[in-house]
Amino acid sequence: MSTARQGPLLLGVRHHGPGSARAVRAALDEARPAAVLIEGPPEGDALLELAADPGMRPPVALLAHAADDPGRAAFWPLADFSPEWVAIRWAQEAGVPVRFMDLPAAHSLAAAGEPDPDRAESDAVRLDPLAVLAGTAGYDDPERWWEDVVEHRGTGGAGEEALGAFEALGEAMGALRETYGDGGHHRDLVREAYMRQRMRAARREFGDGYAVVCGAWHVPALRAKTTVAADKALLTGLAKVKVETTWVPWTHRRLARAGGYGAGITSPGWYAHLFSARDRPVERWLTKVAGLLREEDRQVSSAHVIEAVRLAETLAAMRGRPLPGLTETLESVRAVMCDGSDIPLALIEDRLVVGDVLGEVPDGAPVVPLQRDLTRQQRSLRLKAEAQERELELDLRKDTDAAKSLLLHRLRLLGIGWGTPTASRSSTGTFRETWRLRWEPELSVRVAEAGIWGTTVLAAATARAEADAAAAEELGEVTELAEKCLLAGLSEALPAVLRALADRAALDTDVARLAKALPALARSLRYGDVRGTDATALGAVAAGLAERICVALPPACAAGLDADAAAELRGHVDGVHAAVGLLADADDGLRERWSAVLRTLADRDTVPGVIRGRAARLLLDDGRLEAGETARLMGLALSPAAPPADAAGWIEGFAGGSSGGGTLLVHDDRLLGLIDTWLVGVPERAFTDVLPLLRRTFGAYEPGVKRTLGELVRRGPAASAQAARATGSAPEGFAPDLDPERADAVTELVRMLLASPDGVAAA
């Protein structure tokens, strides 16, 4: 019957439609054309023979990029179930020529500032031809209409029937295009003119016995009778760039991505299943689902599968559909196998409906643009890839060195471990970095692998960081990532990372993890200053984190901690205190709230002594705790009713470590007296328990401080206490009245310290 057909065989398809793919195969088997033309950039013709290579496994994408600017690129993704792929493979098996026929990428990349592979049949902004057709047929969802009418045709019909379907669809599209013209796809007119030119060339070569596989939308335009002159006129004066092409591996996940270079199909896994299932697609699909759920330790029996199939089929019947689609099967899975819950369903969506398939490209494919971009940067930065290990000192204040650092950090983010940062030998300033460089051969493979993230090092690292942020589970991972992003200067990835950070922080219930993350963030803020990265957003996130810590810390400290946990938390209190100090410039209220938290900690009896003592000390240092109040708190903590171990902890928290606690005690004999009195009152049995703790506290003091303290204690607590009482209202160590002679002696020095000519007089 194919003799009745006028002109070439025009197969209008839906890109990535398994039903279309089956129908294309059936139609090609039936018509056996002498050549096949496919929608796609002709620059890819030379690469088509690689499609037959055994090392080639879809999903893959044909990549075209401007030779001098790999960032300007377009991808044509192809999966097993893409009609175009089926046509390519058919032609290769049948041994007939196969060619791409779309407008060359040289023009499309030159024309669009922003590359657009223009497979936009489903683009909601422009006219959606399928939506109109589906609406006419009474469907509210064009995808479902297409599935019912074309995709769910089982075998795609025998050849004859398949041809009929394409015929009918072509006519329907013709009617649509008569009504809507180019429907807002202005570039389509140029593309279609070029396609017609290619078809004319094909006719000269093969007569009418060739086939065309293209988006259904284009069929009427390709059938239209236009003059050569008109088409040529449309094609003159098009801008042009030098283009290079290659195959890159693709993934189902990227097919599913609507934006960027994704094909915007939401269910590649389901389509792959429909395409590969010999028969009974619904039963096989639900069995697959059951298998996945069993792997996840859910009890799913064959009876479940049977019931799910029945429910899906009845649902489809009720909705008047010929076969259950993805919606029906998922709804029946939810009701029958998942107890109505969405959580296992999300797993199914992720693992089966989208799927984890990664394509492969044979070694013979040209190098990926990422490698090219890397080579270019290596050359411009004079950073040779050498197998021999060497050390590189970078001074980040110099432009070239900063650029080198950025490149190395970005590569590390991409998993290309060319350089490893090491501790600097000569200097520890934040503007210095030391790297150990070594180029291993397998790093080239890593570069090729990283090619799926983007075409330039910057773009790839950005995409990778964003993906990592979304996938990270722990708060710590994201904080680290944020730090890396700042180091690598990935300001575009930063919003996504910070968002993930804020989300993780909001959901994390462990205050220790929050507290651990905050200092790192505060540090990052400092790096931001050194490297000139904009870190305002980071500051906001850090402040939010501090806020959450303020709320969650008091209950966490009061929750019956053991000694180790208390000591760990005390460290966190210190870390947060320092971080709040860094952050507080941006937010005054934060410092107030943090002080209030410290105050709560210092006051609350259920908080372990070591934390209470620490909080009191931090408040005292900030001048937020009066000396008298400090003494009151210490007296409470060291009163006989308090367990000695807890009291010793308090002293450790208050006066321990290298934070100048000893000097404080030397100058405030009231505090020293309190400790002394307490120590004398510790019962003998408890004394051995608290001794190690006290030793740790006082042993860390400098020798001079230790000696002075010893002398003070020997003088006796009573004497110093009496002295304090005798001085009346004056602060400890000061006489009640000013001694002008002695004061004059130091004014000169104080003036020098303040570097002000007249400030002291006022003071």
Question: What is the phi/psi pair of residue 255, to 5°?
Answer: -60, -35
Interface with another protein by CB under 8 A: which range of 329-337, 485-493, 567-575, 695-703? 329-337
Quick one: 329 or 697, whose CB is closer to another protein? Answer: 329
Which DSSP string corresponds to 156-195? T--HHHHHHHHHHHHHHHHHHHHHHTTTT-HHHHHHHHHH
- How far CA 407 is from CA of 211, 467, 669, 685, in Å, comes to 48, 19, 58, 63
Question: What separation, in Å, do the N-terminal and C-terminal C-alpha atoms of the chain show?
Answer: 108
Neighbours of 103 (CB within 10 A): 24
Q: 13, 222, 243, 338: which one contacts another protein (CB under 8 A)?
A: 338
Residue in the structure block whose two tokens are 């369903």: 345
CA separation for the pair 530, 265 (Å, rounded): 44
327 belongs to the binding site for another protein (CB under 8 A)? yes
Q: 547, 587, 603, 622: which one contacts another protein (CB under 8 A)?
A: 547
Q: 213, 552, 611, 616: which one contacts another protein (CB under 8 A)?
A: 552
Quick one: 298 or 706, whose CB is closer to another protein? Answer: 298
Closest by alpha carbon to 34, among 227, 174, 232, 203? 203
Q: 307, 395, 483, 603: which one contacts another protein (CB under 8 A)?
A: 307
61: three-class secondary structure by DSSP: strand
Q: 301, 375, 427, 722: which one contacts another protein (CB under 8 A)?
A: 301
Interface with another protein by CB under 8 A: which range of 89-97, 283-291, 339-347, 665-673? 339-347
The sheet with strand 35-38 has its strands ordered as 9-13, 210-215, 35-38, 98-100
Give the distance, in angstroms, between the CA of residue 346 and the centroid of all CA atoms in the same chain. 19
Interface with another protein by CB under 8 A: which range of 120-128, 219-227, 544-552, 602-610? 544-552
315 belongs to the binding site for another protein (CB under 8 A)? yes
How many C-alpha atoms does 173 have within 13 Å on its Cβ side?
27
Residue 547 Cβ vs another protein, minimum distance, rounded to whole Å: 6
Pairing relation of β-strands 210-215 and 9-13?
parallel
Cα-Cα-Cα-Cα dihedral sign, residues 700, 701, 703, 706: negative
CA separation for the pair 701, 664 (Å, rounded): 11
Interface with another protein by CB under 8 A: which range of 83-91, 243-251, 275-283, 336-344? 336-344
CA separation for the pair 489, 475 (Å, rounded): 21
364 belongs to the binding site for another protein (CB under 8 A)? no
The residue count for binding another protein (CB under 8 A) is: 35
Cα-Cα-Cα-Cα dihedral sign, residues 178, 180, 185, 190: positive
Interface with another protein by CB under 8 A: which range of 337-345, 447-455, 467-475, 702-710? 337-345
314 belongs to the binding site for another protein (CB under 8 A)? yes
Q: Tell me how many helices (H) and strands (E) the chain has.
A: 35, 10
303 belongs to the binding site for another protein (CB under 8 A)? yes
Closest by alpha carbon to 314, among 341, 335, 300? 335
Residue 507 Cβ vs another protein, minimum distance, rounded to whole Å: 6
Interface with another protein by CB under 8 A: which range of 241-249, 335-343, 361-369, 613-621? 335-343
229 belongs to the binding site for another protein (CB under 8 A)? no
502 belongs to the binding site for another protein (CB under 8 A)? yes
Interface with another protein by CB under 8 A: which range of 304-312, 365-373, 522-530, 753-761? 304-312
Residue 491 Cβ vs another protein, minimum distance, rounded to whole Å: 20
CA 137-139-142 angle, 5° bins = 100
Residue in the structure block whose two tokens are 């042009």: 240
548 belongs to the binding site for another protein (CB under 8 A)? yes
54 belongs to the binding site for another protein (CB under 8 A)? no
302 belongs to the binding site for another protein (CB under 8 A)? no
Q: 28, 63, 311, 610: which one contacts another protein (CB under 8 A)?
A: 311
CA 356-358-363 angle, 5° bins = 170
Which DSSP string corresponds to 138-160? T-S-HHHHHIIIIITSTTT--HH
Quick one: 319 or 384, whose CB is closer to another protein? Answer: 319
494 belongs to the binding site for another protein (CB under 8 A)? no
Quick one: 168 or 559, whose CB is closer to another protein? Answer: 559
512 belongs to the binding site for another protein (CB under 8 A)? no
**Burial of residue 263, with CB atoms counted within 10 A of its CB: 0-12 exposed, 13-18 middle, 19 or more buried:** buried
470 belongs to the binding site for another protein (CB under 8 A)? no
Residue 310 Cβ vs another protein, minimum distance, rounded to whole Å: 5
Interface with another protein by CB under 8 A: which range of 13-21, 54-62, 210-218, 505-513? 505-513
Closest by alpha carbon to 146, among 265, 236, 259? 265
Q: Which residues bind another protein (CB under 8 A)?
A: 299, 301, 303-304, 307, 310-311, 314-315, 318-319, 327, 331-332, 334-336, 338-342, 502-503, 506-507, 509, 544, 547-548, 550-552, 555, 559
